Chains A and B, each alone.
Chain A
Amino acid sequence: MAAIELRGVVKRFGPITAVDGLDLDVPAGICLGLLGPNGAGKSTTMRLLTGQAIPDAGELNVLGHVLPGEAKAARAEMGVVPQLDNLDVDVTVEDNLAVYARLYRVPDVGAAVDRALDLARLRSRRRDAVDELSGGMRRRLLLARGLVHEPKLILLDEPTVGLDPQIRTELWTLIGELKSRGTTILMSTHYIEEAERLADEVAVMAKGRIIARGHPAKLIGDHAGTQTAEVYGPPERLAEVRSGAEAQGLRVRPAGPAVAIVGSERAANGAIPEEAVIRAATLEDVFVLLTGEEAE
């Protein structure tokens, strides 16, 4: 049974349609990366799944509970790690965890707190106020708080947004541990590398809908081929390269100071300039081709 099933879900905010006929299945035990640019509808989807937003149309089923009517029961079995740090900063690490263990009706609060402290590697800081922790520790605590009741499903909303690379790597390790324990994870992100490293499957979301889905390698193969040629140069040269490649039916995308010719292995002789840098196609190529957005 799928942990999450969404059918034709629509959510509007006045004239803006944030989620537009969304169909999404998340099988139990996998990590699905919901990849999309800002404004794609990822956070609204997360709010719909916790019952903090009510759909205008469509069906939502989470862990066998029909939302929004059974949202409270669904929330009891899922954990949420929000995009923004909303820990109680004056309160100790262990009290932050204990409060949420109570909110989740955990029978043995002390044991749950100890388990979460171990997961976050914060046992030695348990009596410190959150204010005294480093940024990385706070993010680990936020993750542990969402797991204090050992949920079947965890929603990670942009779990590493705004963090430096070192802290991001720390969190990826923790999320990797969760995956290995079989927890179902739905992770929204706009970091390509994060989705590539952690997700068993990636769903690319744009304008409130899923526009592509699959294993990262399959998505790359289906949409970007095997290799990409990047050409650097002045704007006139890049325009010339672009028109030459497009004339051969190749897809070209901007890549910062370069143009990237996607699927360059299919190019006829002469379409790829000699100075081009050839590299393996990536999920970023797929993302930019599909959404038209620059990836981070």
Chain B
Amino acid sequence: MSGAAGAAAAPKTMRRLEPAAIRGVMSRELANFRTYWKGTTFSSVLEPIVYLLAFGLGLSATLVDEVDGIPYIEFVGTGMVATAVIFSSALPAMFGTFVKHRFQNTYEAILAAPVDVEELVSAEMLWIGLRAGLYGCFPLLVTIAFGLDPAWGMLLVPVFCFVTALGFAGFGVAMAATVAKIDQFNYVTALFVTPLFLVAGTFFPIDGLPHGVQVVAQLNPLLQLVELVRGGAFGFEAVDIARFAYLACFALLTWRVAVARMEKRLID
């Protein structure tokens, strides 16, 4: 059992971003996912139902009938897509990356194989993006069950969720490569995740906020996602192309930052 007979002979140098390396890392994620998918999927389906019951039915029965002509339960239901995306991308990326690096030494094993940090980070982001892209659709499906009319534009929602989730996965990986201790994620959650989640136009339209806050809120990728999802449900506008481009740029930016931060963390 010697002589690398089982593996293809390695060339002098290997390419960057090899699909085989990315697939290999993702296959590890898939193998692990098969052991815990039931719990994760259960909470991903149940949470939007609880939110819709609490905010949608609760508030629409007492305080708000509709927003911008949209029934409040449908307003919240379409907005909840963004909530599902950030909570199934940024948080798993932060905690998962930190645990795999610090406690499980998983990355040390992967980087001993012909995989580099760029491929590792790309695969982690893609995996989280795909998963969050799927989970992001659940609130929309639940809202349809609560009366939202299906529309062709909704078929693009998984794509919007995937691209946004890529961005937040990159953000999470970069944060994991930056903090020194796991409890420092409390700062990240309080300073970034919660404000982004609250000022995304999910529960209330942001045009009621002070002008300065509205301008800053436009930078929030979650707000752009919410607008795109509502576009898919109620009709797109030309500006939605710019919104999608913004989300793609956000994903590209966080990808490069995450790769740089992880290289610093993983390579001595």
Contacts and interface: CB of A to CB of B under 8 A. Distances in A.
A234 interface: no
- A-B pairs with lowest CB-CB distance, top 3: A76-B10, A80-B112, A103-B24
Contact of A88 (B32, B108, B112, B268): B32
B111 A104 contact: no
Contacts of B104: 86, 88
A5 interface: no
A76 B7 contact: yes
Interface in B1-53: 1-14, 20-21, 23-25, 27-28, 31-32, 34-36
Interface in A130-184: 145-152, 178, 181-184
Interface of A: 11, 13, 44, 47, 50-54, 65, 69-70, 72-77, 80, 82, 84, 86, 88, 90-92, 95-96, 98-108, 111-112, 115, 119, 129, 145-152, 178, 181-184
B3 A150 contact: yes
Contact of B10 (A77, A86, A106): A77
Nearest to A152: B4
Contacts of B21: 103
Main secondary structure on B side of the interface with A: loop
Interface residues of B, number: 41
21 contacts: A52-B108, A52-B111, A52-B268, A53-B268, A65-B10, A69-B13, A70-B12, A72-B13, A73-B114, A80-B112, A84-B108, A90-B32, A90-B36, A91-B34, A99-B28, A104-B6, A107-B8, A129-B35, A152-B4, A178-B1, A184-B2
Max chain A C-beta neighbours (<10 A), residue from B2, B4, B32, B110: B2
A178 to B, nearest CB: 7
Contacts, number: 149
Given A73-B11, A178-B1, A150 B6 contact: yes
Contacts of A74: 10
Nearest to B100: A86
Max chain B C-beta neighbours (<10 A), residue from A53, A106, A112: A106
Given A84-B105, A86-B105, A106 B2 contact: no
Contacts of B1: 115, 119, 147, 150, 178, 181, 183
Nearest to B115: A103
A167 to B, nearest CB: 20
